[in-house]
């Protein structure tokens, strides 16, 4: 049982990362930290995709290899997902900049104070 769990350590790592990211996203009051959490969450999912594409003993998906290569499709998907993630981060950061200009803070508590 334990061995079986250990064998899937890659999934465990990404699950732990996901939870860290998710927790950061919902618990931190600092907006930048929220965004960091979001990035951790997204990256954990990318790891999940990439590690599931892996086939033992195969090389990266480049045609020159003789031994065959791992499933390339998740890599492509993740490439797209990274772009999405980067765009989200960009939008979020620009929002934070504007919020900072308006409220003079990026701490949720202080902003709510200013707000009310």
Of positions 22, 30, 36, 58, contacts another protein by CB under 8 A: 22
- Per CB under 8 A, 30 contacts another protein: no
State yes or no: residue 103 binds another protein (CB under 8 A): yes
Burial of 99 (0-12, 13-18, 19+ CB in 10 A): middle
Task: Provide the β-strand partners of residue 107.
Answer: 30
Residues that bind another protein (CB under 8 A): 18, 22, 25-26, 31, 34, 38, 41-42, 45, 48-49, 52, 60, 62-64, 73-74, 77, 79-81, 83-84, 87-88, 90-99, 101-103, 111, 115
């Amino acid at each position: 049982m334990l061995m079986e769990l250990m064998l899937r350590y890659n999934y465990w790592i990404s699950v732990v990362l996901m939870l860290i990211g998710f927790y950061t996203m919902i618990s931190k009051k600092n907006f930048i930290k929220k965004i960091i959490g979001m990035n951790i969450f997204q990256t954990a999912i990318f790891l999940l995709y990439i590690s599931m594409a892996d086939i033992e003993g195969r090389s990266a998906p480049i045609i020159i290899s003789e031994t065959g290569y791992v499933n390339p499709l998740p890599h492509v998907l993740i490439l797209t997902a990274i772009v999405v993630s980067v765009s989200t981060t960009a939008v979020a950061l620009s929002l934070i900049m504007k919020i900072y200009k308006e409220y003079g803070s990026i701490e949720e508590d202080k902003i709510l104070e200013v707000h009310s």
